[in-house]
Amino acid sequence: MSEPQGIRAGLTDSTAIVGIGVTEFAKHGDIKDRSEFALCCEAITQAADDAGIDVSEIDGFCSYAAERHEPVLIQQTLGIPELRFSNMVWGAGGGGCSGAVMNAALAVHAGICRNVVVYRSLCQGQYERYGQYRARPTGGAYMAPFGLMTPAQMVALTFRRHMHRYGTPAEALGHVAVTFREHAQRNPAALQYNKPLTLAEHAGARRIADPFGLYDCCLETDGAGALIVTSREHARDLKQRPVRILAAAQASGPGWGLGPTGSHNMPVDDYHTTNSRALGKALFGMAGISPSDLDCAQIYDAFSGLAIMALEDFGVCEPGEAARFIMDGNLSWERKGRLPTNTAGGLLSEGYLQGLNLVFEGVRQMRGTSTAQVDGAETCLVTSGGALAHKSALILAN
């Protein structure tokens, strides 16, 4: 995947994230006092307020993962006078999260919009739970005869292949889950705040889909979030420190189709990955930096094994070496690891908003306001996507 000429300078020089808004996170079914749509509008209003603009100044809308609430309805509800752009990343689930930010940045860079909101609302208690058994899963015609009825079962196969190929120990999964839970203990907004986890508790938890146990699977959450993308020129007049979008990319490798949630016929040489190798090359090529230049990361952790595979796909570790990197404490803020990761708790311990909360934490790290702030952090990798084939990612910078 070659670097799109002209895009790198445009994103780096002209666009920034200037506002974030997020409702409380709750266990699926625990938000009963307002609708998912009301939460969506609440998060967008918060993001505008955080940026220092009136909500009526929003003129573009981007989302992903089959967001239920259409821009024209939000526009009318919030009294927004003009909608100049709307966009949805197709069929990527959480893999479209960073892609939605990329699309917002491109709309600003092109001069189509002044302030674009990226939003996602998800009340799994008011609608379906993504992680539960269903008689007709995604790609059901191909998957159901083999008993693959949940995302955990589907992704477990790809990580099991990683274990077979590299001798990856299951213990590494525990280090991912425990490290991210440690970070959540510093974050009062995290669902798992004040709920520490030990390696022994992780190892003893009930199995969900071997090798994944209970604590290897992300939370099922009610909540909503939004962020505002604008030009760096406009950002100078706003109240928050702007966070540059240093690079943004979307990609799917050849032969993946729908990936683990489809027919499981991905190329054998890529089966044990997150399908992000081409994405990583495009991203770092656009940013003009290498993985060793990163100060922190927010990696999509719908399942703990995804974090291990993603570290290798994005070039942080060589193939087969991520497990040792993690077990040596390199993702830990507490132990001053080389790459503190998911510093708010991630999808495993903060909340599951199909990855948008990872972008929020990347923004906080660049602003210097994280509850597990990395000293002197100047760059942050954010990855999006787990089970579906299409993936996207960002590199944020202060």
The CATH number assigned to the domain holding 321 equals 3.40.47.10
Return d(Cα 296, Cα 104) in angstroms, integer.
Answer: 23
297 within domain boundaries:
yes
pLDDT of residue 54: 97
Which sign, positive or negative, has the C-alpha torsion 136, 139, 143, 149?
negative
Tokens representing residue 380 in the block = 């942050």
Return d(Cα 300, Cα 273) in angstroms, integer.
Answer: 13
166 within domain boundaries:
no
pLDDT of residue 300: 98
103 within domain boundaries:
yes
Question: Where are the alpha helices (H) located in the chain, listed in sequence order?
Answer: 7-14, 36-51, 71-78, 97-109, 140-143, 151-166, 171-184, 199-204, 232-235, 277-287, 304-313, 322-327, 346-349, 356-367
pLDDT one-digit tens code per residue, 185-224:
999 999 999 999 999 999 999 999 999 999 999 999 999 9
Low-confidence ranges of the chain (pLDDT < 70): 1-10, 129, 131-141
170 within domain boundaries:
no
pLDDT of residue 112: 96
Tokens representing residue 319 in the block = 């193939």
361 within domain boundaries:
yes
Within 10 angstroms of residue 228's Cβ, the number of other Cβ atoms is: 31
136 within domain boundaries:
no
pLDDT of residue 6: 44
Is the Cβ–Cβ distance between 237 and 76 less than 8 Å? no
Which helix (H) or strand (E) segment is 393 a member of? strand 391-397
369 within domain boundaries:
yes
pLDDT of residue 139: 61
Tokens representing residue 30 in the block = 């625990």
For the chain, what is the largest distance between any 2 Cα atoms, rounded to a whole number of angstroms?
A: 58
Phi and psi torsions of 128, nearest 5°: -80, 155
Tokens representing residue 190 in the block = 């995290």
352 is catalytic: yes
181 within domain boundaries:
no
Is the Cβ–Cβ distance between 382 and 362 less than 8 Å? yes
Range of the domain at 387: 7-128+218-397
Query: What's the total number of domains in the chain?
Result: 1
* Active-site option among 64, 215, 271, 300: 300
300 is catalytic: yes
- Bond preceding residue 211 cis, omega within 30 of 0: yes
Please tell me what DSSP assigns to residue 265.
-
